[in-house]
Amino acid sequence: MSIIKHKNQRVAVFIDTQNLYHSAKNLYRGLRVNFKSVLEEAVAGRQIVRALAYVITTESGDETNFFEALTKIGIETKTKDLQIFFGGNKKADWDVGLAVDAIKSANKVDVIILATGDGDFVPLVEYLKNYVQVEVISFGKSSSSSLRNVCDDFIDMSERPEKYLIGFKKVRTNIKNNFQNNNRRKIENIPSTNLEPVNLENKISNSSSGLDLNSDSKLLGE
């Protein structure tokens, strides 16, 4: 996609935290997203007007440190409690809230960036494109193809996971080392055959056919 990105553009970023979290968890063995790198890549040196992350709070309330970390890098947080219904069913999403905030911001910025791979946002992107440039950043391997096609620009985080995931390089090194060690152990455990050298001359002279290459040379056409 060919689009214009210049330093005078006003940018608003809306982060679907749950979507990025679960994508990283499923694709990369539970590694955590580096939201600072995501924000920097998305903004690309332009004027950031607002950055919002939408988060679901759990009963344990363990998200406090996460909220503080987001605030330190300039990302505001909007929280919503996890809803638990009769029978144990749970519901937690910020789709409507994120969409409303993005629409409200359309007349204040030049670019709206959605950090999500959720195809449910396709209608939102189609609407916003009437007013602003719409860009999406997410893990391409788990992103909706419709969302990728409809936006003005798509940044695929799957192409450089080491940049967007905390601890990716360390995990990749450990996996490589484990693979090499497993192969080494397999080779070491292959039983030796202890083959003895074969005396071909003895084998021929002692064969049951009784063929003597000297006396029966006529059989060879001599």
Per-residue pLDDT of the chain (222 residues; tens, 9 = 90+): 568 899 999 999 999 999 999 999 999 988 999 999 999 999 999 999 999 999 988 766 667 888 899 999 999 999 988 767 666 666 667 899 999 999 999 999 999 999 999 999 999 999 999 999 999 999 999 999 999 999 999 999 999 999 999 998 755 545 444 545 555 655 656 555 554 554 545 443 444 443 343 443 332 334
Q: What is the domain count for the chain?
A: 1
Q: What is the pTM of this model?
A: 0.74
Instruction: Calculate ∠ Cα 184-188-192, nearest 5°.
Output: 150
Residue 184 domain flag:
no
Q: What's the domain range around 28?
A: 10-174
- Per-residue burial over 8-28, b = 16 or more CB atoms within 10 Å of its CB, e = otherwise: ebbbbbbbbbbbbbebbeebb
Sheet bearing 76-81, strands edge to edge: 76-81, 47-57, 10-16, 111-115, 133-138, 153-156
Position 216 in a domain: no
Asked whether residue 196 is domain-assigned, the answer is no
Name residues whose C-beta falls within 8 Å of residue 83's C-beta, 6 or more positions apart in sequence: 90, 91, 92
- Closest C-alpha to 13, from 151, 112, 153: 112
Domain membership flag for residue 114: yes
Domain presence at residue 197:
no
Nearest to 142 by CA among 14, 15, 27: 27
CATH number of the structural domain spanning residue 83: 3.40.50.1010
Residue 144 lies in a domain: yes
